[in-house]
Chains A and B, each alone.
Chain A
Amino acid sequence: MSGWQDLVTASLIGTERAEVPAPAVPGLPVRGGAVPGDPAALLLDRAALLTVARRGGTLIRPAGSGFHAEPLPVAAPDPAGVVSPAAARRLARILGGEHPDLLAEWLTAVVARGRRVPPRLLPALLDRVRRVSPSDPELRRLSAEAGGTRARWLARLNPDWTFVTALTESGDDTWRLGGKSQRRGYLAALRARDPAAARELITQSWEAAGPERVMFLSVLASRGLSLADEPLLEAALDERDAEVRGWAAHLLARLPRSALGQRMARRAAGCLRVERGARGTRLIITPPAGCDAAMRRDGVTSRRGAGPAEIDDRTHLLHEVMARTPLRTWTGQFGRTAEQILAVPSGAWAAVLFTGWSRAAMAQRDQDWMTALIDWALAGGPTGTLFGAETLRQLARRADPARCARETTAGPAAEIPPPIRDVISVLRFRHDMLKELEL
């Protein structure tokens, strides 16, 4: 409609200088010639008429008529079922900022159950994951897996989300020719599919890998860690690179049946004993005297101090050893359950024991201990320090919420301190979240 453009041009210049065009309006007779009155008002009259005519006559753009909108490919069907509506609402809440740190657990549970994310939530999910990674490559892999074929279809439309296809469509070439993050994606996918094959690939590539060894170990950590990984990890304890040694010790501490676990158990054995005295049963604590080379090889860090600071250093050592000691060391030594051990008074040591055992319970994924430790904390246990509060926060995110049902169903009393209230709220949120995924 060039007539409209003529009017726009005249209005830009102004009727002081421009003639008022007389555009044709479809269906109306053309009125040319001189019209009395204000040219500005005349221009506005004609513009109004043409505006309404144009709006009413919006041209549909038929396929292939200059409007080159390519039809999109059609997304492949996905055999996995969409999660329940309640679970979808939960994901929307997590993406909206409620307990955002539980996203990985939600996705893990969805993948484990062979379900998928509802398509409408994929854009928000992929945007979130893109923002938080690459600090969390595991989250990328989980979202790609839980997003299914629809996520891959979307990723081909938006360059921001290519990580989805990069992770799911990598072939053997990726391992040989890809960059570090692509190689990581390939290895993580292999580890998820076939843990032994991933371990084999790592073993073969170890010598030539150099700085990528840390990446190898982080992939081992993300999924499928087992005693079969021990020889590789035990050998890595003698590497020159301190970061590699640290990772290896960290992973071996997660395997209570590893040789490292046995060595820690021997170091820990003398530190705690139960004493029955006149005033009842008590835990007597004797922290390790010092840190030798063998302990350092196993990942124990030491601090050096003199005088009063030495006490702190030995406390720190106790904490380090306890965090790596298989928990059955204690149940075996004392002939008591976790709950019973925690019930024995330990005086001023209670806070150190709480964080030490909590770290061990989380590393070893020991639900008996995690439940007992949470119960202890909820019953007014020694979590008053900042360190204790942070440990409790982590426990609430790792403990099996179904086993903590007693706490999650009890109504929150008004006088509960904030860290405890947070534990109850997180456990209840996770409890409902995992239940919804069974629907």
Chain B
Amino acid sequence: MAEPKDPRAAARRAEQRETKVASGLAELDRWLCDQVRQGLAASQQAGYAHWDEIAARMVDAQAPGLAERLRALASVPHSGAGWDGRLLEEYALLHLLAVAYRRQAGLPPPLRDTVRSRIGFSLRQADVLAGGPPVRDHWQVLARRDLEQDRIRTRRTWLRGRKTGRDALLLSFAAAGQALDDSFAVGADADADLVFYPGAVPLRAAVLARHDDGDDAGAPDGGPPDGGTIAGLLAGYAAALAADPWLDSWLAVVEIIPLRAPAPAVRGAPAGGGSDGSLPLHPGAGDCWPLFALSGGHPVTLAGEWTPRGLWPLTAWDETGRAVRL
């Protein structure tokens, strides 16, 4: 995007967009209330068009973040037992977003930034890099997850700072068939300046500068991270949710033993012995056989994404301390 030639024209465009988004969100909220008024039971018979239609209207309203969330909902009624609860959760959180946008003037600035980014007001990376204070650290590259939706591939790379202890999420995008950014290799450390996107829970970051030789990215220099407890993971997520109620994926680094029955799960295996409970693995992650093979019934350090449906395992460290992508 080139610099706007005329600041007044830019301001006018921004104002027009606010108006469009505001009316789009009002429409979305009416739609959500209609769904709940008529009853969600009908959703199981509805086809994809039911959600595509309202999603398309959000695209017209220049709220792409909402459109994406809505399109993803079409599969929920067919996601097995508990689908009704999951659909209600998503509708309720969308409603909350609509209400929050309506009242954005009264929100603390970081929460307002979160609301706007979830709706789809995107910040230019250059502005983010210029705007925030850089955080320099030796970032452990702990996990990576590649997703593909609508022919766009997204790579989510999770980092944790050795000095600051901060978690960071790097996003990179590519068209289907094109290579994704490979400069942060899982298992390696990166000495880098990151700038966090503004928000109530600053997690997404952009890379301002690398201070190491990017070619060393493959060297497993760091060894396994300190595996946390399940209680610690959940406490951290709860605190983050209190600030950003829409947060639905959170870096988990835990010391666990995998369990098989009745469904794949993990049991906490704190260093001191005993257990602080169990967590389900995400049903979409499948059988997770490589995690079981790696563990052999022994405790392993596991990194993954904690989500409301369970833990999505991404990286485990083998007995030699080498990171293994699952």
- A contacts, CB < 8 Å to B: 4-5, 7-8, 11-18, 38-41, 43-45, 47-48, 51-52, 55-58, 60-63, 67-75, 82, 85, 118-124, 150, 153-154, 157-158
| Distance from B66 Cβ to chain A, minimum over Cβ atoms (Å) | 15
Q: Known pairs A55-B237, A63-B277. 16 more at Cβ < 8 A?
A: A11-B84, A14-B40, A44-B33, A44-B96, A47-B92, A48-B93, A51-B89, A55-B248, A55-B308, A56-B238, A61-B278, A67-B278, A72-B260, A72-B297, A123-B289, A157-B292
CA distance A242 to B276 in the complex (A): 67
Residue pair A51, B92 in contact (C-beta under 8 Å): yes
Interface pair B38/A14, CB less than 8 Å apart: yes
Cβ of B41 within 8 Å of any chain A Cβ, yes or no, is yes
Q: What's the nearest-Cβ distance from chain B to residue A155, in Å? A: 11
User: Can you list 30 residue pairs at the A/B interface with Cβ under 8 Å?
Assistant: A5-B85, A8-B84, A8-B85, A11-B39, A11-B88, A12-B39, A13-B41, A15-B36, A16-B37, A16-B38, A38-B33, A40-B33, A44-B92, A47-B92, A48-B93, A48-B96, A56-B238, A58-B237, A60-B277, A61-B278, A62-B277, A63-B267, A73-B297, A75-B297, A120-B293, A123-B292, A153-B296, A154-B289, A154-B293, A157-B260
What separation, in Å, do the CA atoms of A41 and B92 have in the docked complex?
Answer: 9
- B245 at interface (Cβ–Cβ under 8 A)? yes
Q: Are B258 and A72 in contact (CB under 8 A)?
A: yes
Chain B residues with Cβ below 8 Å from A51 are 88-89, 92-93, 245
Closest-CB distance, B176 to chain A (whole angstroms): 20
Q: A52-B245, A72-B258 are in contact. Are A11 and B40 (CB under 8 A)?
A: yes
Give Cα A249–Cα B287 distance, bound, in whole angstroms: 47
Point out the residues of chain B lying under 8 angstroms from A58, CB to CB. Answer: 234, 237, 279
A161 to B, closest residue via Cβ: B289
Neighbour of A123 across the interface among B260, B261, B293, CB < 8 A: B293
B170 within 8 A of A: no
Question: What residues of B have a CB within 8 angstroms of the CB of A62 in the complex?
Answer: 275-278
- Whether a CB of chain A sits under 8 angstroms from the CB of B241 is yes
B26 interface residue (CB < 8 Å to A): no
Q: Are B318 and A12 in contact (CB under 8 A)?
A: no
* Cβ contacts B14-42/A at 8 Å (1 or 0 each): 00000000000000010011101111110
**Is B186 in contact with chain A by the CB < 8 A criterion?**
no
**Contact (Cβ within 8 A) A12 B277:** no
- The 0/1 profile, CB within 8 Å of A marked 1, for residues 100-138 of chain B is 000000000000000000000000000000000000000
Are the CB atoms of B276 and A60 closer together than 8 Å?
A: yes
Min distance, Cβ A329 to any Cβ of chain B, angstroms = 51
Nearest CB of A to B38, in Å:
5
Interface: B231 (CB within 8 A): yes
- Residue contact A56 to B242, C-beta cutoff 8 Å: yes
The smallest C-beta distance from A93 to any residue of chain B, in angstroms, reads 15
Q: Which residues of B contact A82 (CB under 8 A)?
A: 320
Asked whether B297 lies within 8 Å of A153 as measured between CB atoms, the reply is yes
Whether B91 contacts A44 by the Cβ 8 Å rule is: yes
- CA distance in complex: A305, B38 (Å): 84
Tell me which residues across on chain B come within 8 A of A18, comparing CB atoms: 39
CB of B89 within 8 A of CB of A74, answer no
A15, A17, A47: residue with the most chain B Cβ atoms closer than 10 Å: A47
Which among B88, B91, B257, B298 has the greatest number of chain A C-beta atoms within 10 A? B88
3 A-B pairs with the lowest CB-CB distances in the bound complex, closest first = A14-B39, A60-B277, A75-B296
Does B294 have its Cβ within 8 Å of any Cβ on chain A? yes
Given contacts A63-B267, A71-B257, contact A8 B292 (CB under 8 A): no
**A200 CB to nearest B CB, Å:** 38
Q: How far is the CB of A149 from chain B (nearest CB, A)?
A: 8
Residues from chain B with Cβ under 8 Å of A123 in the complex: 289-290, 292-293
Tell me the minimal C-beta distance from B18 to chain A in angstroms: 23
Q: Which residues of A lie under 8 Å from residue B91 when comparing CB positions?
A: 11, 44, 47
Chain A residue with the shortest CB-CB distance to B246: A52
Chain B proximity of A276: nearest CB distance (Å) = 62
Nearest Cβ in chain A — how far from B303, in angstroms?
15
- The answer to whether B144 has its CB under 8 Å from any CB of chain A is no
| Interface membership of chain B positions 252-263, coded 1 if the CB is closer than 8 angstroms to chain A and 0 otherwise | 000001111110
Q: Which of A44, A62, A68 has the most CB of B within 10 A?
A: A44
- List B contacts of A17 (CB < 8 A): 39
Q: How far is the CB of B147 from chain A (nearest CB, A)?
A: 21
Contact A119 B297 (CB under 8 A): no
B95 & A60 in contact (Cβ 8 Å cutoff): no
**Are A69 and B298 in touch, CB under 8 angstroms?**
no
Tell me the minimal C-beta distance from A150 to chain B in angstroms. Answer: 5
Q: Does B230 reach chain A (CB closer than 8 Å)? A: yes
Partner of B39, one of A16, A38, A122: A16
Residues in A with CB closer than 8 Å to B39 are 11-14, 16-18
List chain A residues, Cβ under 8 A from B37: 14-16, 39-40
- Give every chain B residue within 8 A of A70 (Cβ-Cβ): 259-261
**1/0 contact string of B285-326 vs chain A (CB within 8 Å):** 001011011101110000000001000000000101010101
Q: Report how far A197 CA is from B141 CA in the complex, Å.
A: 55
Cα–Cα distance between A11 and B39 once the two chains are bound (Å): 5
Q: Taking the nearest CB of chain B, how far is it from the CB of A210, in angstroms?
A: 40
Shortest CB-to-CB span from B326 to chain A, Å, is 8
Q: In the bound complex, what is the Cα–Cα distance between A55 and B297 (angstroms)?
A: 29
Asked if A55 and B88 sit within 8 Å, CB to CB, the answer is no
B63 at interface by CB-CB < 8 Å: no
Say yes or no: B289 contacts A60, CB within 8 Å: no
Given A44-B91, A71-B257, A120-B318, do A56 and B237 touch, yes or no (CB 8 Å)? Answer: yes
Q: A150–B292 Cα gap in the complex (Å)?
A: 10
Q: Is B70's beta carbon under 8 Å from chain A?
A: no
Task: Given A40-B37, A47-B88, check contact A56 B241 (CB 8 Å).
Answer: yes
Instruction: Report the minimal beta-carbon distance from B215 to chain A, rounded to whole angstroms.
Output: 18
Q: Which residue of B lies closest to A51 (CB)?
A: B89
Instruction: Name the residue of chain B whose CB is nearest to the CB of A127.
Output: B289
Q: Does B168 lie at the interface of the complex (its beta carbon under 8 Å from any beta carbon of A)?
A: no
Interface centre among A55, A85, A123 (most CB of B within 10 A): A55
B265 at interface by CB-CB < 8 Å: yes
Q: Are B290 and A41 in contact (CB under 8 A)?
A: no
Flag B124-163 by CB within 8 Å of A: 1 or 0 each.
0000000000000000000000000000000000000000
Cβ contact within 8 Å between B289 and A158 = yes
Please determine whether B88 and A7 come into contact, CB atoms closer than 8 angstroms.
yes
User: What's the minimum C-beta distance from B257 to chain A, rounded to whole angstroms?
Assistant: 7
* A56 vs B236: C-alpha distance when bound (angstroms): 9
Shortest distance from the beta carbon of B291 to any chain A beta carbon, whole Å: 9
Say yes or no: B238 contacts A12, CB within 8 Å: no
Contact between A60 and B93 (Cβ–Cβ < 8 Å)?
Answer: no
The docked-state distance in angstroms from the alpha carbon of A119 to that of B319 is: 10
